[in-house]
Amino acid sequence: MPTLTTNKKAFHDYHILEKYEAGIVLTGPEVKSTKQGQINLKGSYVMARGNEIWLINCHISPYRMANLKNYKPTRDRKLLLNKKEISSLIGKLQSKGLTVLPLSVYTKGSLVKVEVGVAKGKKEYDKREIIKKRESNRAIQRALRGKM
């Protein structure tokens, strides 16, 4: 399953609590553009409307070979999930402090899938602590590599 794009900012700014795999409703030229990697998840989020889950503000560049008139790159796109998953996500969206974000877009066979995660925002000191741990682990690995 080749990953087409990931939302690196989501992993930096949020603690990911749960992950779901969702299909996405795209037009033909959007599928071709997505498979070429012309998709950007930066600033996108997931929202509930009625009993449906929608991906908001995801930018898919227009496919060059398609004749597109009135194409909106950031239009809202419907996500395809089971009823149980939809009701679970709607409940989590309504709870305080939780949000749902797209984490990555990948292909599974000929289908385009979106990995959606339930997330809780990190505090500034959490981010600093993670950076310190990463730096210390790198220093330890360099020291071990030098001794061997």
When computed from its CA atoms, the radius of gyration of the chain, rounded to whole angstroms, is 18
Q: Which amino acid is at 77?
A: R
User: Which residue in 122, 132, 107 sits closest to 9, CA to CA?
Assistant: 122
Is residue 133 assigned to a domain? no
Examine the pLDDT at 115 and tell me if it is beyond 90. Answer: yes
User: Which residue in 27, 26, 22, 15 sits closest to 46, CA to CA?
Assistant: 22
User: Which residue in 52, 50, 68 sits closest to 60, CA to CA?
Assistant: 68
> Which structural domain range is residue 91 located in?
3-122
Is residue 107 assigned to a domain? yes
- Percent of the chain whose predicted confidence (pLDDT) is above 70: 97
pLDDT tens digits, 67-93: 767 778 888 999 999 999 999 888 888
pTM for the predicted model, two decimal places: 0.77
- Percent of the chain whose predicted confidence (pLDDT) is above 90: 24
Is residue 145 assigned to a domain? no
How distant is the alpha carbon of residue 69 from its chain centre?
Answer: 28
What is the rounded CA–CA span in Å between residue 119 and residue 122?
9
Whether residue 63 contacts residue 52, with contact meaning beta carbons closer than 8 Å, is answered with no
Is residue 100 assigned to a domain? yes
Q: Show the tokens assigned to 127.
A: 């981010």
Whether residue 57 contacts residue 44, with contact meaning beta carbons closer than 8 Å, is answered with yes
Is residue 129 assigned to a domain? no
Q: In 3-state terms, what secondary structure has residue 114?
A: strand
**pLDDT at res. 122:** 79
Q: What is the CATH number of the domain that holds 77?
A: 2.40.280.10
Question: What mean pLDDT is reported for the chain?
Answer: 87
Per the structure, the count of domains in the chain is 1
Is residue 139 assigned to a domain? no
Is residue 147 assigned to a domain? no
**pLDDT at res. 125:** 75
What is the rounded CA–CA span in Å between residue 129 and residue 75?
37
Is residue 66 assigned to a domain? yes
Examine the pLDDT at 66 and tell me if it is beyond 80. Answer: no
